[in-house]
Copies of this chain bind each other. A is one copy, B any other.
Amino acid sequence: MREKIVRELESIVGAEWVVSAEEAVEGYLYDETPIPVRPEASSDVIVVKPGSAEEVSRILVLANKHGVPVFPRGGGTGLAGACIPTVSGIILSLERMNKIIVDVDNLMAEAEAGATLRDLIDAADKAGLSFPLHPGDEGAQIGGLIACNAGGARAIKTGVMRSCIKGLELVLPTGEIIRLGGKVLKNNVGYDLMHLVIGSEGTLGIITRAWIRLQPRSAASATIVIPFERREDALKIVPEIFRRGIIPLAVEYVERVLVERVGSNLGLKWPCTSAEYQLIVILSENSEDALLGALESLLELCNSSGALEPVVAETRKEQDEILRIRSEIYSILKPDMVDILDVSVPPASLIDLIRTVNELEIRYRVYMPVYGHAGDGNLHIHLMKWDGWTKEKYDELRDAIYAKAIELGGTITGEHGIGFIRRKYLERVLDRRTIELMRAIKRIFDPNNIINPDKVFP
């Protein structure tokens, strides 16, 4: 049977784009999900690399015919195991479909799903425009970023992936190629299936192409690190920044001990040594005047809000170093990490959530480094390895944090998604009827449960 499917796949995409040798598929089995929580992948898989939506369609028709699961795969940078082939099946990698065309007059990129975030940033830049979000690892692919509605630090001003997607070409699990939206900015024709597919984590269809709204390049930016002696003060200032009419690109919360450690690992010096609790604020404006206005207003606010002396980075190099340290926190923690949580609460409740994390640290005598997107209430809490700890202990800790997030009106995942590893928690956030509706939608799109059959739902 396996051999028969390999032959049929080869007849669709050409023999050079079907990979089935065990050592050759190894690089396609996992993503960035921390090893202690990620599921075991089946190595009885065939990797197929279609070159067009038509080929994707034929692969899905084939998979339906034989009842073989299909696991769509982008850059493999996900953190919830959504692309891991937990059972035998076909891994559908979009890597060959990586073209991007920029339509300057419409400020629109038309990108194939396998183009990377880096490709998109570069293509926008070459056209004199910008893709202002930065939703994670630059090796992530457009299809995956959309399927997972990726967020990242720069979601404050420009929103998450959902906010810049205007159209999708989608191959339905049953093989039909449909187009939702396009280069239009306003579109109210029937139900918005495009928004339903965004964030559905590869379970409702294979995204093969997207129309993405770009922005003008910002004229001026500055990165400000603001130190506070009290954590409360650091977090309390955040809504005040917005109320003053400043809308930063990013407002990140970090703790000095962690960023200094990451910095020294990278051979870089963290620029702000004066207190434990720090905010990183990135301002990005359309003119130098506007930047100076916003910066002045921000520094004034710091002055009256218990902050110590802020560090203002204006050169590209200084700003990049701060961001690099911030971005590498995950990689540095990863080897000793059991799980990275992604809870999201109303921004003003972030302080209550962090207080709970600290109480748990004391009660359980563990170290749980946190950092997060303070501007949008999305906090990454890390469960670290600890001598003599068991899976049950970590589950207890995770449960306590999820319970607190939900109590605060929040949710268990703000940007990483449910994927495989959070399926059992879905029922904590959603009521029975809502999950039923979702499952029924999955059945409509994918009657044979062919694509990503074991993801999202418990």
Measured CB to CB, the residues of A under 8 A from B are 103-108, 128-129, 148-149, 151, 155, 159-160, 162-163, 172, 176, 178, 180, 182-193, 195-196, 198-200, 204, 215-219, 239, 242-247, 285-290, 292-294, 297, 344-348, 373, 376-378, 409-418, 426, 429-431, 433-435, 437-438, 440-442, 444-445, 456-457
Contacts and interface: CB of A to CB of B under 8 A. Distances in A.
Given A178-B434, A245-B217, A347-B185, A190 B108 contact: no
Contacts of A348: 103, 105-106
Contacts of A418: 188-190
A102 B87 CA distance: 49
Residue with the greatest number of chain B CB neighbours at <10 A, chosen from A105, A160, A189: A189
B293 A239 contact: no
A354 B443 CA distance: 43
Contacts of A187: 344, 411, 413-414
Contacts of A196: 191-193, 195-196
A414 B188 contact: yes
Contact of A198 (B192, B377, B410, B415): B192
Contacts of A160: 186
22 contacts: A104-B239, A104-B243, A105-B347, A107-B242, A107-B243, A155-B185, A162-B195, A178-B433, A182-B409, A182-B410, A184-B377, A185-B347, A186-B373, A186-B377, A187-B411, A187-B414, A188-B413, A193-B196, A285-B290, A287-B290, A287-B294, A437-B445
A243 B183 contact: no
Given A186-B377, A192-B200, A195-B195, 4 more contacts: A108-B346, A186-B414, A189-B412, A286-B290
